[in-house]
């Protein structure tokens, strides 16, 4: 199920909240587990067993490591087994067809594909459960002895299908003990509503603009730039809107999830961008891959190797397709460049210039990200250096979406938040509350019209 659906908003959410509130304290985790499994099963009636299997395996692995507390060798073996199982399942469902395709096209073979649909959210929950076994192995967290609590953590519906990637250590205490205050409920509902509006009112429209712009021929620099821009706004509002909804929902049930986005389009370097974009993913790769590989505390060549590995895999995580790998490596390249060419990130440079550099790099990256067909992608990359006059159709679409583009661009900065925070007077609170209510009703209007409402994480 997705949050931006009528089924979720009208039926699932009210029922889930009500049943959670009325259930007695000691049963709350069990109830939340059932709610979460129902949520997942609604979209994946078969693969829900995969989530249970995955969670069950990691629970057992955790217990085993607890049992073998003193025997380092065995513990290592258990960790290895967990890594193999988790990554094996991920590899099997997500990457096998991709590998077959690569082999087929390189060697002119005709091996048949598995053609399995990708279980929604598999990349998210695999990374979550991995964080548990790795942390238990490193004794950063204690073993969880309650199967229900642990399964609830794995399947927790707010962040199950599209993040944030909530590490076990971030939520360990909350699994056992949490209270939901009135503030939690109110703030959670507000946060959820903002996320819903971001997704339904802005992201979906930007996606529609993107679709329309890709029909324009011939492709010249103006077309490519606005395609990158519309996709960048679409994915930001989609993804951060989803994270907002997840974080808001989490609070309704007493959880505090980590933030996932921090106004990434205000970043002043690519390094800064990745501290602000999909924060929980970049932190995961940093802590469980980059640092274990030695990070930057190794020789130059090894460091370069580490960067390449991390960004290759970051790209690949987003989907089993060549363009995602290119997308990851593209960022790796700029991160390396920022280390060697220090003026790029120098303090002497005006912030505006640094932001423009960052936005330019990111904008082009969205072209790479959005076109899974590499030939198609190359046409738009070539378009970037073709300086013909803009086709008139572009004017039409830009005029059509002018106001929405302005709203989206301003909305991707922290201007709104600064206004609300700076002046918490009664008038502002009333205005904000009414505004949120209006956003929710408007979102309903767009959902009822069943206009364009894509789900973009099916590849992740």
From residue 204 to residue 223, the character string flagging contacts with other proteins as x (rule: CB under 8 A) and all else as - is -----------xx-------
User: How far is Cα 130 from Cα 429, in angstroms, rounded to an integer?
Assistant: 42
Q: Is 50 exposed, middle or buried (0-12, 13-18, 19+ CB in 10 A)?
A: middle
Contact track, other proteins, 138-177, x by CB under 8 A? ----------------------------------------
Smallest gap from residue 419 Cβ to other proteins (A): 16
Tokens of 232: 């960048």
Report in angstroms how near the CB of residue 216 gets to other proteins at its nearest: 8
Closest to other proteins by CB, 295 or 391 = 391
For the bound state, the minimum distance from the C-beta of residue 178 to other proteins, rounded and expressed in Å, comes to: 19
* Residue 434 interacting with other proteins (CB under 8 A): yes
By CB under 8 A, is residue 450 in contact with other proteins? yes
Q: Considering beta carbons, is residue 13 or 77 the nearer one to other proteins?
A: 13
Catalytic residue list: 318
Query: Which residue, among 170, 168, 157, 129, has the nearest Cα to 33 in the 3D structure?
Result: 157
Region of 296-304, 352-360, 377-385, 424-432 interacting with other proteins (CB under 8 A): 424-432
Does position 433 bind other proteins by CB under 8 A? yes
**Residues touching other proteins, count (CB under 8 A):** 54
We find the least distance from the C-beta atom of residue 155 to other proteins, in angstroms, to be 18
Q: Indicate the length of the chain as a whole number.
A: 460
CB 191 within 8 A of CB 351: no
> Backbone phi, then psi, for 41, in 5-degree steps?
-65, -25
The region of 128-136, 236-244, 352-360, 403-411 touching other proteins under the rule CB under 8 A is: 403-411
Using the contact rule CB under 8 A, the part of the chain among 26-34, 42-50, 60-68, 151-159 near other proteins is 42-50
* Cβ at position 213, least distance to other proteins in Å: 10
In the complex with other proteins, the residue whose CB is nearer, 97 or 184, is: 184
Judged by beta carbon, residue 309 or residue 436, the one nearer other proteins is 436
In the complex, least distance from residue 327 CB atom to other proteins, rounded to whole angstroms: 29
Report the alpha-carbon distance of residue 340 to residue 284 in Å, rounded: 25
The yes or no reply on residue 449 touching other proteins (CB under 8 A) is yes
Q: Which of 297, 348, 399, 422 binds other proteins (CB under 8 A)?
A: 399
Min separation Cβ 402 and other proteins, Å: 6
Site for other proteins in 9-38 (CB under 8 A): 9-11, 13-14, 17
Q: For residues 204 and 144, what is the distance between their CA atoms, to the nearest angstrom? A: 40
Q: What residues numbered 181-200 form the site for other proteins, per CB under 8 A?
A: 182, 185-186, 188-190, 193
Query: Binding mask 94-133 vs other proteins (x if CB under 8 A, - otherwise)?
Result: ----------------------------------------
Cα–Cα distance between 117 and 300 in angstroms, integer?
A: 41
* Only segment of 3-11, 78-86, 280-288, 371-379 that touches other proteins (CB under 8 A): 3-11
> Considering the complex, what minimum distance in angstroms separates the CB of residue 11 from other proteins?
6
The least distance separating other proteins from the CB of residue 162, rounded to whole angstroms, comes to: 18
Residues 5 and 326: their CA atoms lie apart, in Å, by 33
Q: Which of 20, 42, 91, 455 binds other proteins (CB under 8 A)?
A: 42
Residue of 440, 454, 455, 456 interacting with other proteins (CB under 8 A): 440
Which chain residues interact with other proteins by CB under 8 A?
1, 5-7, 9-11, 13-14, 17, 42-43, 45-46, 182, 185-186, 188-190, 193, 215-216, 392-393, 395-397, 399-404, 407, 426, 429-430, 432-434, 436-437, 440-442, 444-451
């Amino acid at each position: 199920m997705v949050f931006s659906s009528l089924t979720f908003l009208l039926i699932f959410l009210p029922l889930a909240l009500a049943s959670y509130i009325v259930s007695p304290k000691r049963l709350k985790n069990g109830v939340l587990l059932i709610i979460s499994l129902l949520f997942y099963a609604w979209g994946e009636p078969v693969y829900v067993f995969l989530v249970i299997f995955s969670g069950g395996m990691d629970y057992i692995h955790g217990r085993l490591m607890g049992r073998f507390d003193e025997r380092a060798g065995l513990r290592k073996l258990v960790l290895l087994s967990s890594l193999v199982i988790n990554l094996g399942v991920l590899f099997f469902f997500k990457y096998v067809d991709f590998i077959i395709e690569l082999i087929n096209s390189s060697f002119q073979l005709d091996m048949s594909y598995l053609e399995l649909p990708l279980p929604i959210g598999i990349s998210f929950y695999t990374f979550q459960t991995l964080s548990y076994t790795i942390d238990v192995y490193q004794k950063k967290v204690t073993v969880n002895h309650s199967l229900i609590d642990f399964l609830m953590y794995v399947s927790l519906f707010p962040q199950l299908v599209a993040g944030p990637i909530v590490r076990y250590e971030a939520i360990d205490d909350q699994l056992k003990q949490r209270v939901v205050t009135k503030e939690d409920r109110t703030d959670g509902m507000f946060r959820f509503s903002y996320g819903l509006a971001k997704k339904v009112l802005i992201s979906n429209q930007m996606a529609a603009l993107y679709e329309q712009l890709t029909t324009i021929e011939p492709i010249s620099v103006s077309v490519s730039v606005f395609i990158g821009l519309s996709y960048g706004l679409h994915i930001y509002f989609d993804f951060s809107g989803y994270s907002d909804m997840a974080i808001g929902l989490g609070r309704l049930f007493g959880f505090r999830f980590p933030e996932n986005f921090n106004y990434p389009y205000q970043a002043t370097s690519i390094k800064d961008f990745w501290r602000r974009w999909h924060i929980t993913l970049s932190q995961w790769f940093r802590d469980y891959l980059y640092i274990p590989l030695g990070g930057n505390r190794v020789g130059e060549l090894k460091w370069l190797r580490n960067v390449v590995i991390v960004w290759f895999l970051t790209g690949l995580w987003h989907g089993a397709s060549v363009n995602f790998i290119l997308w990851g490596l593209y960022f790796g390249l700029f991160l390396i460049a920022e280390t060697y060419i220090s003026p790029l990130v120098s303090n002497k440079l005006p912030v505006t210039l640094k932001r423009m550099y960052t936005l330019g790099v990111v904008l082009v990256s969205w072209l790479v990200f959005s076109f899974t067909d590499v030939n198609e992608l190359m046409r738009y990359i070539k378009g970037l250096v073709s300086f013909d006059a803009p086709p008139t159709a572009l004017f039409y679409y830009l005029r059509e979406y002018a106001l929405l583009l302005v709203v989206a661009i301003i909305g991707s900065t922290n201007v709104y938040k600064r206004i609300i925070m700076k002046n918490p007077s009664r008038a502002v609170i009333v205005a904000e509350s009414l505004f949120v209510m209006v956003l929710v009703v408007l979102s309903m209007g767009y959902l009822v019209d069943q206009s364009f409402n894509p789900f973009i994480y099916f590849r992740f």
